[in-house]
Amino acid sequence: MWRFKYAAEINGSVGADDDLTVTNHEVNQESLNVLKRQWRDYYHAIESEAPVVNGSHAQFQTWLVQGANEWDAEDIYTEERHQAIMQKIGSDGVSRDKLLDGWINQESGRQHWGDTTPYRLRVGAAAGDSRGSIGFHQVQSRWIWGTISGDNCTQFSGKNLYAPSNGAAAIVWWGAKDNCGMSFRRAMLGNFDGDYDNSGTVKLRRSNHDSVALATDANYVTDKYERLSKGIAGYKLGIRSLNTTSWPELLKSRASDQGIRYAIEVKRKANINLRSYLWLDRDNNADFCFWYGEDDWYSSLTWTAARAEALTQTINEPSGRRVECP
């Protein structure tokens, strides 16, 4: 029985998450053209590669470095800019290729093909996934070959994204190039920056990566670490998921969010230090301060629960979150 997973590339009544079969779509020139493109790239990818390709491949590190270098072409995330962020947060040893390694680990478990059957691609894990999220990068098929549906990313033209050598580069291309996902590009350019408004009762005094607290009348301003976090989050849910709400406010107000969790998981896998924030609030007409941040959020502790916990603690008690207010 003829069966084709990438329904999103075929015009017509077949749903984007449905498989194509001979019972719901005829074998016509349109479907044959899509099959031809897919098979051509897949064949060229496997003809010179081993039946199992994953993060243990002898060229994997080279692919990561080559992928990271693609950021330079867009002048969006140079190694110098990356290291400036890493130095501020105490993650000096994390290079851009290590970030991409963590990203691939999050997307595919560092598996491209062959983890169950020789040359069988790692595809999207969602039940019934027929969007063709493939390999190291997990970019959906329709963005790569979807010229029929009009969804394709023009920057992928002429590039074989079945090839594992392009796995890391595809993450960069998708996020940083115009006419593609653009979430990383726009986040790093500051399009989604947002201040935390300190005019209310609850104030944000500083992050654990800052040595000096804000002036009492100053708002907390988005920095490049938080731009990076939003750019990573957008790879998961798309550019429409991003907005100008500040990163600490998102942690404070959203107990559950796929994009936030995804960004934190990528950073954890890349051994990037996470951020915490020093909050000031009032209780019984008195100020009190406590730490709450990404690690707490990831552990399913809400800001409200952290606040309540802090109120049960004395200032600067061992392993406590409550501290003296600056």
How far is the CA of 254 from the CAs of 154, 262, 304, in angstroms? 35, 14, 11
Query: What's the pLDDT score for residue 270?
Result: 98
233 Cβ contact list (under 8 Å, min separation 6): 183, 241, 242, 259, 260, 262, 263
Q: Give pLDDT tens digits for 34-57.
A: 677 778 888 999 998 999 999 999
Contact 224, 84 (CB under 8 A): yes
- Least trusted range by pLDDT, from 135-149, 257-271, 311-325: 135-149
Q: Nearest-5° angle of CA 298, CA 273, CA 65?
A: 115
Q: Give pLDDT tens digits for 100-114.
A: 999 999 999 999 999
Query: What's the pLDDT score for residue 197?
Result: 96
Looking at the predicted structure, is the pLDDT value of residue 206 above 70? Answer: yes
* Cα–Cα dist 266/104, whole Å: 8
**pTM for this entry:** 0.90
* Cα–Cα dist 126/121, whole Å: 15
Query: What's the pLDDT score for residue 177?
Result: 82
Number of H helices, E strands in the chain: 12, 8
Task: Tell me the average pLDDT of the chain.
Answer: 87
Q: Give pLDDT tens digits for 71-84.
A: 998 888 999 999 99
**Mean of pLDDT values over 260-265:** 97
How far is the CA of 63 from the CAs of 69, 115, 147, 235, in angstroms? 10, 19, 27, 20
Q: Residue 255 carries which DSSP code? A: S
Query: What's the pLDDT score for residue 6?
Result: 47
Q: Which residue has the higher pLDDT, 121 or 293?
A: 293
Looking at the predicted structure, is the pLDDT value of residue 203 above 80? Answer: yes
- Is residue 167 very low, low, confident or very high in pLDDT (cuts 50, 70, 90)? very high
* Alpha helices (H) in 135-188, listed in sequence order: 141-145, 167-176, 183-188
- Is residue 146 very low, low, confident or very high in pLDDT (cuts 50, 70, 90)? low
Query: What's the pLDDT score for residue 17?
Result: 47
